[in-house]
Structure 1
Amino acid sequence: MAASELIEEDEVRIPVEANVTSLNSPAQTHPQRVANGNPTHHALTLSPPADDHDGTNRSERSGLCSLVLIQSLNRKLKRRCEYEKICAKEEHTDRLPNEWWKTGVAFLYALFNLVFTTVVITIVHERVPDKSVSPPLPDKFFDYVDRVPWAFTVTETNGLILVGLWLIQWLFLKHKAIVGRRCFFLIGTLYMYRCVTMYITTLPVPGKHMVCAPKLYNDSRGKIWRILRLISGGGLSLTSSNLMCGDFLYSGHTVMLTLISGVICILVGHEHYSVDVVVAYFVTTRTFWWYHTMANTHTSLFIRDEFPLSLVFNSISAQELRGAPNNYLSRVWWNPVFNFLEKNVQTTVPVVFLSPRALLSSCKERYHTIGIERDE
């Protein structure tokens, strides 16, 4: 609804009665003549009221005009309030646009880095030194805690449960498009970092219990099949898809886990060095906090509403705060990507869940809209 259309509809129209005389008054108006005998068109002579009844009618008309004016102003004020509510609602909606196409771009980014990780693992596997030549590196945690064979299975089970819970939670979120693209970008970036650390330094296996697949050397076809098998099994030991070694620094399982119990089980199973887990924890948490600090900068710097200066800060846009010269968080290499993903997100994303009924209604409405567009 345009503001101009609403204002045009709300124009106060006051009925004006001109040249109205009482039926009981015999007086009439006559054009005034000048010396040449031609009447003037602007000079009019009004006869005085015939009696007191005309004054009473004039008072009634004045009261009627006042009543009409008050009613018009009330209607205008009411519509103005409704207009402001609609504008406020539209403004709030525009501050958190879905932009599903950006979510799709972030998903492709994450998918590419996950596939690229399997390629790097296949390459690194060929460079892992043999256990007989290079024994496992000394690890302080391994010196005090013996290996528990089933611990790593617990780790992967925890990871699968967490991924399932995340998917269910994500489906019922109101702003799932924004949350989804943030998650996809973070996962893709963390696994890209992991590709770098795995490739530049290859560590020996952390334990003699580990069984590594034979090396293929120049067999390109065999390497491709290994990549496809790793992708199809999700890189999990539970699916027997990951028999390759070398993907130690840093731990990809730690990246996906948020339960401390799952992270500890990685170490108890002696599947990763302690440094792998520690580095993965710091890289994951700091990247997550870094990104969301930048995303919420426009609210964290505001002053409370009871202070007059808050009006000044509230007028500053999120882009100006995020791009401020003293905001050193914006100096990361992925800041242009961040600006692309978060450009139109102008406020903190609230944690709002949809009921199953509301979710089904939303899906039906979208399906109906798509059907109409196809028919057109």
Structure 2
Amino acid sequence: MEFKEVYVSVSEVELWSTDTVVKWLHSRGFSLCEYYFLRNDIDGYTLVRLTEDDLRRPPVSMEKLGDIKRIIGAIDKLVPSRNRFRVDADCPIKLQSSVTSQSSNTEKFNSSSSYTESNRRRYSTNLKPEKFKMCVAACYSSAVMYLCAVIMTIVNERVPDMETYPPLPDLFLDILPFVPWAFHAAEYIALTLFAVFGFVVFTHKHRFIILRRYCSLVGTLFLLRGICMLITSLSVPCRTFQCYRYSDPDLYSKLKRAWDIVCCGGMALNGVRYCGDYMFSGHTTLLTLVSLFIDEYSDKRYPIVKTLCWILALFGIFFVMAGHEHYSIDVFIAFYLTTRLFLYYHTLADNNARLRYDTSRRKMWFPLFTYFESEADGSIPHEYDWPLGLPRFISKHLFRDREKTE
């Protein structure tokens, strides 16, 4: 897009809002620096008085010397005769804009710029850890997990007899041969992804917000899974699968068996072998969800980590089907529901500030989200620190707070 050069006064630039300053930064090629200006509410009045020390020192704390020099140079070009600490309000400046009228050029700059507010990612300005909400989310997910374990003990007694009800026709399971070790391999992959996710959460500056969102999504997804398991009982998907039916004489025995399932993490590696919990796949849900969280919150400087985690997750999902532990439809529904719910949750959280007018409907349909994300007003910035006091010379190079833009 071509811009004409016109003259405006400094007093007019001082009326710029923070959004206008950010648009000017974008037009000058400083997209990666917008977050610093948004976070510190730098408007036009502040822009014409910025110095290198202002950008280098807290609270702005820009780290790249090249960016600092180039931004100051661009401001100097914008305001040629400005003093570092005092600007003549009558000094004319040059600005790139698509307008030809001097009296209305600022307004037209806002409307005609190709870069609009919807094209950039807004970062949250309210990043309180809210540990109590995180504890509530953890209790919610733990209670749902135990409820799912209780439902597993119930559906295990109701699973249809294999001789009377053979496995249902399945397009992929009919093609894939049964691999005895595949399901265990999927669980090893899940443990690996959980280790990576744990490291990401441990080193992220806003770890409590991430944990709250993870527990909220896990609880909701497994609550849906428990309802689906209880409503419909499917036949065993593989004739070679050894299904052990446990008949508990009373409720206490069921509750105790459910507690054993929770303590073992519901993993076949720990001896958990139950039938009937098919619709939908819990292993696929966790493999997908953990990969999504790693993709969303890990450091953007290391894209290879995201790629490897997604490759592992896809292999894990394939091994779930190769072990004939679930029908293909179980895996597909688990993947679809997990990705959609993750997307909807984060889209609502990132745009929460813009949807304040619709709180009544969101409270009715998403009561937990409304409570957990009541303070959210944007995306979580990619900022990292080491909570255990890592030596400065190491943390300076490994865990630097820096903004990431999509």
For normalisation by structure 1, the TM-score amounts to: 0.62
* Aligned counterpart for 1:268 among listed residues 322, 325, 338: 322
1:260-299 pair list within 5 angstroms = 260-297=314-351
Q: CA deviation at 1:93?
A: 9.2
Assess, with a 3 A threshold, how the Cα gap between structure 1 residues 204 and 120 changes in structure 2: closer, same or farther: same
1:34-49 pair list within 5 angstroms = none
Assess, with a 3 A threshold, how the Cα gap between structure 1 residues 243 and 206 changes in structure 2: closer, same or farther: same
Assess, with a 3 A threshold, how the Cα gap between structure 1 residues 174 and 128 changes in structure 2: closer, same or farther: same
Question: After superposition, what is the alpha-carbon deviation per residue over 1:76-100, rounded to whole angstroms, capped at 9, x for unaligned?
Answer: x99xx99xx99999xx996111111
Q: CA deviation at 1:219?
A: 3.6
* Aligned counterpart for 2:244 among listed residues 175, 199, 213: 213
Which residue of structure 2 lines up, in the alignment, with residue 116 of structure 1? 147
Does 2:151 align with 1:97? no
**Greater Rg, structure 1 or structure 2?**
1
1:98–1:178 CA contact under 8 A, matched in 2: yes
Please give the alpha-carbon distance, in whole angstroms, between the structure 2 residues aligned to 1:111 and 1:245: 22
Quick one: which amino acid aligns to residue 321 of structure 2? L
Please give the alpha-carbon distance, in whole angstroms, between the structure 2 residues aligned to 1:340 and 1:122: 32
Please give the alpha-carbon distance, in whole angstroms, between the structure 1 residues aligned to 2:246 and 2:366: 40
Does 2:376 align with 1:322? no
Which residue of structure 2 lines up, in the alignment, with residue 170 of structure 1? 201
Which residue of structure 2 lines up, in the alignment, with residue 32 of structure 1? none
2:287–2:317 CA contact under 8 A, matched in 1: yes
Assess, with a 3 A threshold, how the Cα gap between structure 1 residues 219 and 95 changes in structure 2: closer, same or farther: closer
Which residue of structure 2 lines up, in the alignment, with residue 235 of structure 1? 266
1:172–1:359 CA contact under 8 A, matched in 2: no
Question: After superposition, what is the alpha-carbon deviation per residue over 1:346-367, rounded to whole angstroms, capped at 9, x for unaligned?
Answer: 2321111114665689xxxxxx
Same amino acid, percent of matched pairs: 35
2:320–2:326 CA contact under 8 A, matched in 1: yes
**Higher deviation after alignment, 209-218 or 142-151:** 209-218
2:351–2:377 CA contact under 8 A, matched in 1: no
Question: After superposition, what is the alpha-carbon deviation per residue over 1:61-80, rounded to whole angstroms, capped at 9, x for unaligned?
Answer: xxxxxxxxxxxxxxxx99xx
For normalisation by structure 2, the TM-score amounts to: 0.58
1:96–1:346 CA contact under 8 A, matched in 2: no
Assess, with a 3 A threshold, how the Cα gap between structure 1 residues 199 and 360 changes in structure 2: closer, same or farther: farther
Which residue of structure 2 lines up, in the alignment, with residue 254 of structure 1? 284
Q: Which runs of 5+ in 2 are unaligned?
A: 1-48, 62-122, 289-312, 393-406
Does 2:179 align with 1:148? yes
1:42-81 pair list within 5 angstroms = none
Instruction: Point out 4+ residue stretches in structure 1 off by more than 4 angstroms.
Output: 85-89, 330-334, 356-361
Question: After superposition, what is the alpha-carbon deviation per residue over 1:302-336, rounded to whole angstroms, capped at 9, x for unaligned?
Answer: xxxxxxxxxxxxxxxx1xx22445x99x6585522
1:97–1:345 CA contact under 8 A, matched in 2: no
Which residue of structure 2 lines up, in the alignment, with residue 347 of structure 1? 378
Please give the alpha-carbon distance, in whole angstroms, between the structure 2 residues aligned to 1:147 and 1:86: 60
RMSD in angstroms over aligned alpha carbons? 2.9
Please give the alpha-carbon distance, in whole angstroms, between the structure 2 residues aligned to 1:340 and 1:157: 35
Q: CA deviation at 1:208?
A: 1.4
Quick one: which amino acid aligns to residue 349 of structure 1? I
Aligned length: 255
Which residue of structure 1 lines up, in the alignment, with residue 164 of structure 2? 133
The secondary structure found in structure 1 opposite 2:315 is helix
Please give the alpha-carbon distance, in whole angstroms, between the structure 2 residues aligned to 1:136 and 1:332: 42
Please give the alpha-carbon distance, in whole angstroms, between the structure 2 residues aligned to 1:356 and 1:86: 20
Q: Which runs of 5+ in 1 are unaligned?
A: 1-76, 299-317, 362-376
Assess, with a 3 A threshold, how the Cα gap between structure 1 residues 233 and 357 changes in structure 2: closer, same or farther: closer
Q: CA deviation at 1:161?
A: 1.0
Assess, with a 3 A threshold, how the Cα gap between structure 1 residues 360 and 210 changes in structure 2: closer, same or farther: farther
The secondary structure found in structure 2 opposite 1:108 is helix
Q: CA deviation at 1:251?
A: 0.2
Q: CA deviation at 1:217?
A: 5.3
**Higher deviation after alignment, 343-352 or 108-117:** 343-352
Please give the alpha-carbon distance, in whole angstroms, between the structure 2 residues aligned to 1:174 and 1:348: 14
Quick one: which amino acid aligns to residue 279 of structure 1? I
